Structure formats: structure tokens, C-alpha cells
């Protein structure tokens, strides 16, 4: 098998949670579909996922939209049952869903209820999704789990970036993303002997028409001089999903333009 063949995902079934989302989710999904995977995207909005899947099918890809709620265990197991019944297996699991919506407020504004809600979806939900699909991967003797963390799971956020804006980094985001990295290492060490690899991707800031003051400050701070775009994360997810990374396990791949290098 040539090196380029190892990047192919033909014959693989991949699930991306929140895979129809406008930021990282759709980027991840498009990359896996273009690499040849049978793609499933799932989130709370069935309509959004089905519309996104139809868009990919018009481009010649094998894509399917389903529905689930990250905060509801029965919904998670229902998604698992639907995927295994329809496709017989799951080869690639990409966890990109997150419970929070938008900018959830700084430390001074958040409450214990905010943290409880975050824990139920972002932490318990991640655990439940992995627990639901891991037995089938273990039985098959192969699988790749890719959890989408953040540079703010690696380093603290820089408060100076937010000067001149109403933006504030929510502390539960840092808490969840840092824990995700070490939870992934746990999965890697425990399930690697069963042929299941687990890795994280920690992306930098994604350009989403944030206030210009924030964008300018971010661009000055990052060595490559710009925020992430739609394509920047795609090579990383295909690499970790494919046989090109067959000996990569327990790794946190930062895709951040050099942010965490300085």
C-alpha cells in the first residue's frame, strides 16, 4: 500500500457529532467524506443534518444525517443502535459536539448551574458516547476515536485578546477541554491493545466574524498571523482517522498556527 492509499477512508464508517455545524463540524465532515468514508453527522437538529448530508450527496459523497442529544444517554444509545443496525459497524468516531451555545460568560458571571449543565453534556456526554461505541470497535479489533479539544485545553486563555469587545472566555470551556485531552489518553492506554486508537485535535481560534479588535489582537499573537479557516483542520482529522496514523495513539495534535509554541 502506497502512502497516499493509507489516507483513504474508503469502506470506513465515520460519525461526527455536531458534524453539520457551521464551524469545525462541517469542516471535519467534509474532509472525511472527501476521503471516501461513509459519513454520519448527528446533533439535536435532524433537519440540519439531513440538509447537510444531502449537500454532500450532491457532491458525490456517501453521507447521512441523524439526530441525537448529547445530554441524554438514551438518545446516545439510540444513535449507536441506529448506526450499527444500518451500517454494521463504526470505524471512526469524531466527538466535536459541545453543550454550550456561543459565549457563555466569564468567571464572574457563570453560576454553579452553568457548570452542572456543562458537566452533564460536555463531560458526561463525551463519556457516554465513547462508552456506547467502544464495544463494537473492540469486537471489530479496530477503530479511531478523535476528540476535538482546543488550545485552551493546553494553555490558559489570553485575556488581552478580548479588550475592546464584549467577549469573555468561559472557564468551564477550559476545564472541559483540558479534561478531554487526558481522558483521551486514558482511552488510548486502555483500548490500544484492542486495536482502538484515541487521539485529540486541539485547534486554535476559528475565524467567525468576531469583533475586529479581537481578530487583530489574535492575528498579532499567533505566529502564522491569521485565524483558522475552514480547511485548516481537515488534513489533521483525515490523518488521525486513517491508516496513515496507524501508530499514533494518545496524541494531542495542535492545529494552531504556532499559538502554543510560544
How wide is the angle at C-alpha 6 spanned by C-alphas 36 and 248, nearest 5°? 110
- DSSP label at residue 121: I
190 is catalytic: no
Q: Which among 136, 127, 138, 139 has a CA at the least distance from the CA of 196?
A: 138
Return the number of other C-beta atoms located less than 10 Å from residue 255's C-beta.
17
Concatenate the DSSP letters of all residues of 150-191 into one string: -GGGTS---GGGGTTSS----HHHHHHHHHHHHHHHHHHHHH
Set 173, 186, 190, 218: catalytic member = 173
38, with CB counted inside 10 A (0-12, 13-18, 19+), is buried
Asked if 103 and 157 touch (Cβ cutoff 8 Å), the reply is: no
The strand pair at 13-17 and 38-43 is best described as parallel
Residues annotated as part of the active site: 173
Amino acid at each position: 500500500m502506497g502512502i497516499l492509499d493509507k489516507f483513504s477512508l474508503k469502506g470506513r464508517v465515520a460519525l461526527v457529532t455536531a458534524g453539520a455545524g457551521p464551524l469545525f463540524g462541517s469542516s471535519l465532515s467534509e474532509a472525511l467524506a472527501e476521503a471516501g468514508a461513509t459519513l454520519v453527522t448527528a446533533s439535536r437538529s435532524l433537519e440540519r443534518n439531513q440538509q447537510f448530508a444531502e449537500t454532500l450527496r450532491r457532491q458525490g459523497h456517501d453521507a447521512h444525517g441523524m439526530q441525537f442529544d448529547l445530554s441524554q444517554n438514551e438518545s446516545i444509545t439510540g444513535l449507536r443502535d441506529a448506526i450499527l443496525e444500518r451500517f454494521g459497524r463504526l470505524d471512526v468516531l469524531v466527538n466535536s459536539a459541545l453543550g454550550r451555545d456561543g459565549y457563555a460568560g466569564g468567571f464572574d458571571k457563570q453560576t454553579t448551574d452553568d457548570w452542572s449543565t456543562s458537566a452533564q453534556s460536555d463531560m458526561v456526554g463525551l463519556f457516554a458516547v465513547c462508552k456506547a461505541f467502544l464495544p463494537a470497535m473492540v469486537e471489530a479489533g479496530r477503530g479511531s476515536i478523535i476528540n476535538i479539544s482546543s488550545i485552551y485545553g493546553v494553555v490558559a486563555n489570553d485575556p488581552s485578546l478580548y479588550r475592546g469587545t464584549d467577549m469573555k472566555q468561559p472557564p468551564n470551556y477550559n476545564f472541559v477541554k483540558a479534561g478531554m485531552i487526558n481522558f483521551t489518553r486514558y482511552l488510548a492506554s486502555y483500548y490500544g491493545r484492542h486495536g482502538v486508537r484515541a487521539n485529540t485535535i486541539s485547534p486554535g481560534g476559528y475565524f467567525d466574524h468576531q469583533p475586529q479588535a479581537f481578530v487583530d489582537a489574535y492575528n498579532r499573537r499567533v505566529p502564522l498571523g491569521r485565524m483558522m479557516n475552514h480547511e485548516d483542520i481537515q488534513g489533521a482529522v483525515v490523518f488521525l482517522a486513517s491508516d496513515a496514523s496507524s501508530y499514533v495513539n494518545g496524541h494531542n495534535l495542535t492545529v494552531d498556527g504556532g499559538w502554543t509554541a510560544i
